[in-house]
Structure formats: structure tokens, C-alpha cells
Amino acid sequence: MYDPIITQPKNPQTIDNQYDMIMMWHVLEHVPDINKTLIALEKKLKHNGALVVAVPNRDSLDSKTYGEHWAAWDVPRHLYHFNHNSLENLMKEKGFNLISKHPLWLDSYYVSYLSSKYKKSVFPWINLIVVGSLSNILAIFTSKYSSSFYIFKRA
């Protein structure tokens, strides 16, 4: 697999400290060497640069409802499974501070639909509405959304 951030040869376009923002939208959970990747990303960001990371939440209501059929487990493609604390701790260890966290409201519906299909539900569309909505409503009080995106800054 080609990883342009890590394996690209040094040239003027890939100097360190050049990016204001790097986005990893449902990417981090797929990265084979997460430590090496985060170190490389931290070097590529400007001093006040931001890293935006979107990931599924293993503690969400839909993950608990569907159990082993939860679509966001997505093994073997998902190599890591995060909750809020595990992601924040990993990022802090790699030199990033959490600035903000934001829910991805629609992910609960999509993941509920896929999970229902994996579970061979007769009515996946009903589960999409019921479980997806309940997951979002509960998350208003617990902050355990199906997926969220986080904005981190270099420490």
C-alpha cells in the first residue's frame, strides 16, 4: 500500500512544517502503523497546525445494540477501534491536544442500516430509523455518538 505522507521522497513539496491542516476522515482506524503515521503527520503540520480525525465510536449505542454485527467493527479493514478516551490519549501521546469534538449525526443511520443487513434483519430500514435515532438521542446526553470528528492541534 502506498502512503504518500510517509513514503514520498524528500522534495520541496514534502518539507516538514508546511501544512495548516491535515484531515483523516474515517482513515485512522485503517492505518497499519498508527504510531509511525502520527509521528509523520505531526512533523508535516505547521506549529499551530490542526489534525482533523473522524472515527467510529466503539462505545456508541448502535455498537452495543448490534454487538458483533456492528458494521463499524469492519474487521479486518479496521485495525483500531476507538472511544473518546482512547483516541484523546493516543493523540496526546503523539503530541496533539484536543481542541474540539463534533458528532457525525448521519453515521448512526448508515451504520445501523449496514449492521441490520449483516444481522440479516428482515426490515433494515426500520432498524436504520429506530436504532439510528435512539443512538443519536442517547448521545445528546452521553456524548457517545456513533461517529465523531475531532480537531487536534500540535502541543
Please enumerate in sequence order all residues whose Cβ is within 8 A of that of 90, keeping only pairs 6 or more positions apart, or say none.
34, 38, 82
Cα gap 115→113, rounded to integer Å: 5
User: What band does 1 get if pLDDT is binned at 50, 70 and 90?
Assistant: very low
By the 8 A CB rule, do 154 and 42 touch?
A: yes
User: What band does 2 get if pLDDT is binned at 50, 70 and 90?
Assistant: very low
pTM value?
0.85
Cα gap 43→75, rounded to integer Å: 30
pLDDT on residue 87: 97
Q: What is the pLDDT of residues 54-66, one digit of tens each?
A: 999 999 999 999 9
Q: Going from the N-terminus, what domains does the chain have, and what CATH number goes with each?
A: 4-154 (3.40.50.150)
Could you give phi then psi for residue 104, rounded to 5 degrees? -110, 85
pLDDT on residue 123: 86
Q: What is the pLDDT of residues 82-136, one digit of tens each?
A: 999 999 999 999 999 999 999 999 999 999 999 999 989 888 899 889 999 999 9
User: What band does 152 get if pLDDT is binned at 50, 70 and 90?
Assistant: very high
* Strand ranges inside the chain, DSSP E: 19-25, 45-56, 96-103, 147-154
- Give residue 50's Cα distance to chain centre: 15
**Which amino acid is it at 148?**
S
User: What band does 40 get if pLDDT is binned at 50, 70 and 90?
Assistant: very high
pLDDT on residue 10: 55
Q: What are the residues facing 148 on neighbouring strands?
A: 55, 103
Radius of gyration of the chain (CA): 17
Cα gap 110→132, rounded to integer Å: 8
Cα gap 141→123, rounded to integer Å: 28
